[in-house]
Amino acid sequence: MEGKRILRVETRRKDLRFPFPENFNQRIEGAKLTRMGRRAKYLVGELSTGEALIMHLGMTGRFTVSGARHGKFHHAAGEDEKHDHVVFEMQGGARVVFNDARRFGFMDLWTSEALQTYPPFAEMGPEPISNEFSGAYLVEAFKGKKTPVKSALLDQSVVAGLGNIYVCEALFRSGISPVKLAGAIRKDRLETLSVEVRKVIEEAIVAGGSSISDFRQSDGELGYFQHSFQVYDREGEACVVCAKPVKRLVQSGRSTFYCASCQRA
DNA sequence: GCTTGGACCTGATTGC
DNA sequence: TGCAATCAGGTCCAAG
């Protein structure tokens, strides 16, 4: 989409998770998408109109690209038309379709120059792969926190863009118990944690993400990182390090997978 | 002020 | 086989 004009937009329902912003179609049709970027799990497409098209995949959202004669993302149109909610017809012939069965995703518009005031971004912590994110940062961010480290890492105001899978994996790699209170973890452990968080994310990106059921890469192919899970979704299976069974518990309503033997710190 | 739990919505899987 | 209950990658908001 980058560098191309959005010729036409078709919204097939009036809302996703939230209603589309007022005059959504008119505000983006004819605009050129000058730059596609990202903040946490939000896609940010800057438009020639001065507004940014903000898009979130929720849990089951996906974009598929078809119709283009060229381009590495071309693949056949989706088979699940029932959940094709938004279609972008791009300059050059590409059709970019947003499909989201569970409709937890959404689209929004915000002034490009003031993106930091977009409500979800306003209180957001640093990107885990940025220089700002470090052991020293975690020491500050966790100071006095009485919430379990698992919940603290899922908190987007602490660090932006980590989800349940990668938090479980990073804690396992760091040898830190998910129930340990964030404020009670030693500084050297937080240094390790910051390194492992970054490594997990970078490795998952290289592997093309994690396909559990719905997730696909932009070309429709499955991700591969799920084969690298050491604890996530492995309840009862042998720990890759000590062979004891992986355990599951629920924290803040989310499943946590961990090895009680390896994660004691 | 901080933390937790329920809600949002649909589909896949599990258990009776 | 059929149906109901449960669970899922994220985020928001009300209640505690």
- Does one domain contain both A33 and A95? yes
Asked if A42 and A122 touch (Cβ cutoff 8 Å), the reply is no
Strand C neighbors by CB, 7 A: A 17, 40-42, 56, 58-60, 102, 104, 119-120, 154, 156, 163-165, 209-215, 223, 253-255
CATH number for the domain harbouring residue A214: 1.10.8.50
Q: Check residue A211 and give its pLDDT.
A: 83
Residue A130 located in a structural domain: no
- Does one domain contain both A21 and A100? yes
**Residue that is last in its domain, among A122, A145, A176:** A122
CA of A249 to C1' of C7 (A): 14
A125-136 exposure pattern, b = at least 16 Cβ within 10 A, e = fewer: bbbbeeeebbee
Residue A28 located in a structural domain: yes
- Does one domain contain both A178 and A234? yes
Asked if A66 and A22 touch (Cβ cutoff 8 Å), the reply is no
Q: pTM for the whole thing?
A: 0.94
- Does one domain contain both A243 and A139? yes
Residue A167 located in a structural domain: yes
**Residue that is last in its domain, among A64, A93, A122:** A122
A162 vs A205: CA distance, rounded Å: 13
Residue A265 located in a structural domain: no
Residue A26 located in a structural domain: yes
- Residue A110, helix vs strand vs coil: strand
| Per-run averaged pLDDT (10 residues), chain A, 265 residues | 96 94 97 96 97 95 80 59 94 93 95 94 94 95 93 95 95 96 95 97 91 77 89 94 94 93 94
Q: Phi then psi for A131, rounded to 5 degrees?
A: -65, -25
Q: Check residue A71 and give its pLDDT.
A: 61
CA of A65 to C1' of C2 (A): 38
CA of A164 to C1' of C16 (A): 25
Q: Check residue A213 and give its pLDDT.
A: 74
- Does one domain contain both A100 and A205? no
* Nearest nucleotide by C1' position to the A42 CA atom: C10
* Nearest nucleotide by C1' position to the A168 CA atom: C9
CA of A256 to C1' of B6 (A): 19
> Domain of A64?
6-122
CATH number for the domain harbouring residue A109: 3.20.190.10
- Does one domain contain both A75 and A156? no
DSSP labels, A21-78 = PTTHHHHHTT-BEEEEEEETTEEEEEETTSEEEEEE-TTTEEEEEES-SS-TTB-PPP
CA of A240 to C1' of C14 (A): 41
**Residue that is last in its domain, among A122, A151, A170:** A122
Q: Check residue A215 and give its pLDDT.
A: 76
Residue A117 located in a structural domain: yes
Nucleotides of B under 7 A from a protein CB: 2-12
Split into its structural domains, chain A has a count of 2
- Does one domain contain both A160 and A239? yes
Chain A 38..97 CB hits on strand B (< 7 A): 82-83
Chain A 181..240 CB hits on strand B (< 7 A): 213
Residue A263 located in a structural domain: no
3-class secondary structure per residue, A181-250:
EHHHCCHHHHHHHHHHHHHHHHHHHHCCCCCCCCCCCCCCCCCCHHHHCCCCCCCCCECCCCCCECEEEE
